Amino acid sequence: MWQTVLYQPIVNALVFLNQLFGNFGIAVIVLTIAIRFLLIPLTLPSLKATSKMRELAPELEKLKKKHGKDKQKLAQAQMELYKQHGVNPASGCLPQIIQIVILIALYQAFNQVLKMDGGTINKLNEVLYPQLKLPLDAVINTRFLWLNLNQPDIFRLPGLSFSLPGFFLIAAALIQVISSKMMQPAVELSQKKAEKTETKQDDIASAMQSQMLYLFPLMTILIGYSFPSGLVLYWLVFSISTAIQQYFVSGWGGLEPWLKKIKR
């Protein structure tokens, strides 16, 4: 089922788009935009729910002050508030899971398509649709701009014993920070209010929320050291499209304080 539903369609899409444009990098970009478009019915409700939860932040703070010591009543009151405003706090879970599953399928597809020789072409042809089957001497050009999409986006400066992340890898991480900040604009506010609460649990929660803002981009860079840059290109384009969609749903969100500081 995994191969039929995800892996095989992605492999065929990559091969088809590469044949259509004659450039594997463009094929990755077009495939990413197509996947993003197909995920809109799932991601749009999630983004709207995030925007609504931001609007409910003052009400949630009131509930914390009222039921702070009784966690059971606090949870019940929060669920009632969510229900009253038609918000599902778990609505963002499914899109995230689907994105991870697609990322795994893409990783396998890239390994299959980019590392081709006579033997692997035969194996690749087993999952390709009849009209897309490749000759045994087929070669895919993995060059895109200055990247080799089959290799990690890293480089080494003279005199250094370790590699540094490349432009696309850093850009993917930065866009992820921007997108996350736009989606979670209440982080700074919750940190300030957590100092006034009687319990330490809000303090811990807000600190974890702030850490996650930078943890995932850092993980992107670390994982990108071993992933082919074609996958990094996918993640960069996907993150940019997420930020654009978030902007049209709720504006700059939590990025506004940063923008004000820059304008100063």
Q: What is the pLDDT of residues 122-143, one digit of tens each?
A: 778 888 888 888 777 777 778 8
H helix runs in 22-152, sequence order: 24-38, 40-55, 57-67, 71-84, 93-114, 118-125
- Which pTM was predicted? 0.72
- State the amino acid at position 107 in one-letter form: Y
Confidence grade of residue 264 (pLDDT, cut at 50, 70, 90): low
Please state the rounded mean pLDDT for residues 63-85: 76
Contacts of 122 (CB under 8 A, 6+ apart): 136
| Rounded Cα distance, 181 and 213, in Å | 7
Is there a contact between 39 and 98 (Cβ–Cβ < 8 Å)? yes
Report domain extents, the chain: 2-263
Q: What is the pLDDT of residues 131-182, one digit of tens each?
A: 888 777 777 778 888 888 888 888 878 877 788 888 988 998 888 888 777 7
Q: Which helix (H) or strand (E) holds 202?
A: helix 201-224
Query: What integer pLDDT is reported at residue 89 of this predicted model?
Result: 64
- Given a cut of 70, whether residue 68 has pLDDT beyond it is no
| Rounded Cα distance, 90 and 147, in Å | 38
Q: What is the pLDDT of residues 4-59, one digit of tens each?
A: 778 888 889 988 998 898 888 899 899 989 988 888 887 777 777 766 766 777 77
| Rounded Cα distance, 23 and 3, in Å | 25
- Given a cut of 70, whether residue 111 has pLDDT beyond it is yes
Positive or negative, the CA dihedral 190, 191, 196, 201 is positive
